[in-house]
Amino acid sequence: MRWALVKVSLAVTTMVVLAFAVPLGLVIREMARDRAFSGAEREAAAVAPALSITTDRDQLERVVASAGSDAGMAVHIPAGDGQEALELGRQRAADEDIAAVRKLGRASTTGVAGGSTLLQPVALSTGEIAVVEVYVPEAEVTNGVGTAWAVLAGVGVALVLGSVAVADRLGVRMVRPAKRLVEGARELGEGKLGSRVPEDGPTELRLAAVAFNSMADQVVQLLANERELAADLSHRLRTPLTVLRLNTASLGEGPAAEQTRTAVEQLEREVDTIIRTAREAKPQTAPAGPGAGCDAAEVVRERMAFWSALAEDEGRTWRVAGADRPVRIPVARGDLAAALDALLGNVFRHTPEGTAFAVDVHNGDDAVIVLVSDAGPGIPDPEAAMARGRGSGSDGSTGLGLDIVRRLAESTGGDVRIGSSVLGGAEVRIWIQPAGPAPASGGRRGQVRRRRPGRLVAAYNRSRSD
């Protein structure tokens, strides 16, 4: 915007300067020419009274000498009444031009070598017409024109430079608030809810800053209201959870009872975590710093041990592959466990009893794949299933589970894909970048760079086809 304003100002000012300077320069040249010929007319007029009285050479020479330079003036007197023609001074004009002026009786100018001449007719006492010739050098015609043009050019350049400087200052005054508004919007988009923009600059940008700050305040208020609502709704679960925990005490001993009590305890912990997170306004993100994250293989083994009991009750066959060695990923342990529970819960919820399922972990140099597949009916519309709040469209499906998985993968720079598994049903691939999201740079600030682990895909596909 700044340079565009400078360019527009430069173009407009240049056109204005040219529109005024060029005609003014031509007027100055014409004024200099008129000044030179006006002087010549005065010199010729000084000789006319003497010619009307006498044609004596000596007297006329004295008059010519007193009127002007005899080198620049000439008098042409025709012959008549027994008197011979008289020529005083140096003739520069052609005989045809002198004869034409004598015949027409009207002053005229004609060009000669080195300048121009003024031919002025004068009536003699004898009735004949004499012609006074006054030479006007070219230097006298253009005297002062060059200086005047130089002054005009200097004034024009000064005007152009001044307009450019003023436009640049105006551009800075407009661009600076606009840049602050852009930076504030980018910071707000990155989650810096305290970002605000100074309300200064031109009226339009000041109003935009006021609107932006008002919007940011409303966003903060809405987020606070949502956190309070989440905390309140989570707190309402405490009463039924307490009843459920008391009821589990009457289940007696056994693997199923122990797993039920463990599930209730975990559910209570999750509810407490939701309430604390909502109250403290701390987003559940991957911990920062080198070495942060969890062992994906360990989390997979732990969650499969939990779901295996329910799988045995429903007659489901299951398997785990690739979880025998540590696999470090930059994801919090609780977040990965929640994502796995969401995927495995979908398997149990949306496939018939007895449907087989599997969890595979593939560790590569540049990515980690966690794959959950089943032998169920599959997902007919993967895009709709990934839409938050929509799900597969069946009863009890909201799409929030897959959205949790997607956000976990994207927090590391990866993504989630839904396809068909070798078991015949649905297959959910979670791509996790071990190094986390790539840093933003340049004009692509905040954009996540997603790499496609080619070697890992090839190895994974070979293992699936074997």
Interval 44-60: pLDDT, tens: 887 778 777 777 777 77
Closest C-alpha among 124, 127, 74 to residue 97: 74
Per-residue pLDDT of 69-101, as tens digits, reads 556 788 888 877 667 777 787 888 888 888 888
Name, of 4-8, 96-100, 166-170, 315-319, the range with top average pLDDT. 315-319
pLDDT at 359: 94
Helices and strands (DSSP H and E) totals, the chain: 13, 12
pLDDT at 444 over 50: no
pLDDT at 327 over 50: yes
- Range with lowest mean pLDDT among 3-17, 201-215, 324-338, 385-399: 385-399
pLDDT at 390 over 60: no
The pLDDT-based confidence of 442 (bands split at 50, 70, 90) is very low
What are the backbone angles phi and psi of residue 115, rounded to the nearest 5°?
165, -140
Per-residue pLDDT of 107-160, as tens digits, reads 888 888 888 888 888 887 777 888 888 888 888 777 878 888 888 888 888 888
What percent of the chain stands above pLDDT 90? 8
pLDDT at 169: 73
Average pLDDT over residues 300-306: 90
Average pLDDT over residues 344-351: 87
Give the residues across from 116 on adjacent strands.
Answer: 111, 136
Of 29 and 324, more confident: 324
pLDDT at 282 over 50: no
Is residue 284 a contact partner of residue 335, using CB atoms and an 8 Å limit? yes
Rounded distance between C-alpha atoms, residue 353 and residue 371, angstroms: 21
* Strand segments (E) across 124-208: 129-137
pLDDT at 57: 76
Q: Where are the alpha helices (DSSP H) in 54-126?
A: 57-67, 95-104
pLDDT at 168 over 80: no
Average pLDDT over residues 339-352: 87
Q: How far is CA 135 from CA 41, 140, 274, 455, in A?
A: 11, 10, 106, 97
- Range with lowest mean pLDDT among 4-18, 146-160, 285-299, 430-444: 430-444
The pLDDT-based confidence of 356 (bands split at 50, 70, 90) is very high
The pLDDT-based confidence of 201 (bands split at 50, 70, 90) is confident
pLDDT at 69: 56
pLDDT at 295 over 80: yes
pLDDT at 232: 65
pLDDT at 360: 94
The pLDDT-based confidence of 369 (bands split at 50, 70, 90) is very high
pLDDT at 397 over 60: no
- pTM, rounded to two decimals: 0.42
The pLDDT-based confidence of 166 (bands split at 50, 70, 90) is confident
Name, of 134-138, 200-204, 415-419, the range with top average pLDDT. 415-419
pLDDT at 71: 66
The pLDDT-based confidence of 375 (bands split at 50, 70, 90) is very high
pLDDT at 275: 67
* DSSP, residue by residue, 368-414: EEEEEEESSS--S-HHHHHSTTTTTSSTT--SHHHHHHHHHHHTTT-
In whole numbers, what is the pLDDT of the chain averaged over residues? 77
pLDDT at 20: 79
Is residue 130 a contact partner of residue 51, using CB atoms and an 8 Å limit? yes
Per-residue pLDDT of 232-244, as tens digits, reads 666 666 667 666 7
